[in-house]
Amino acid sequence: MLFLTHCAYMIIIMETEHDNLDGSEIGLPLYEQIKQRILTALAQGYWRSGEVIPSENDLAEFYQVSQGTVRKAIDDLVAQHLLIRRHGSGTFVATHLEEQSKYRFLHLANAQGKFEDSQNRILLCSHQKAPAIIYQSFDLGPNDIFVHIRRLMSFKNRPVVLEEIWLPLPLFDSLNLELLASWKGTMYGLFENHFATHMVRAHEKITAELPNEITIEYLEISPSTPILNIFRIAYTYNNRPVEVRQAQYLTMDYHYQNELN
User: Is pLDDT above 50 for 157?
Assistant: yes
Judge contact between 227 and 248, C-beta under 8 A.
Answer: yes
- Domains annotated for the chain, with CATH where assigned, are 6-93 (1.10.10.10), 99-256 (3.40.1410.10)
- 223-255 confidence digits (pLDDT tens): 999 999 999 999 998 889 999 999 999 999 999
Most confident of the following: 84-93, 135-144, 169-178: 169-178
Mean pLDDT of the chain: 85
pTM of the model: 0.77
The band of 12, judged by pLDDT with boundaries at 50, 70 and 90, is: very low
Helix axes 56-63, 6-17, angle to 10 degrees: 20
| Structure confidence at residue 208 (pLDDT) | 96
Q: Give residue-wise pLDDT tens across range 55-78.
A: 999 999 999 999 999 999 999 998
Using pLDDT thresholds of 50, 70 and 90, give the confidence band for residue 100.
low
Contact 35, 78 (CB under 8 A): no
Q: Summarize the confidence of residues 119-136 as an average pLDDT.
A: 93
CA distance 224 to 215: 12
Average pLDDT of the segment spanning 176-193: 91
Q: What is the pLDDT of residues 218-227, one digit of tens each?
A: 999 999 999 9
Helices (H), ranges, the chain: 6-17, 30-43, 56-63, 67-79, 132-138, 177-182, 187-195, 213-219
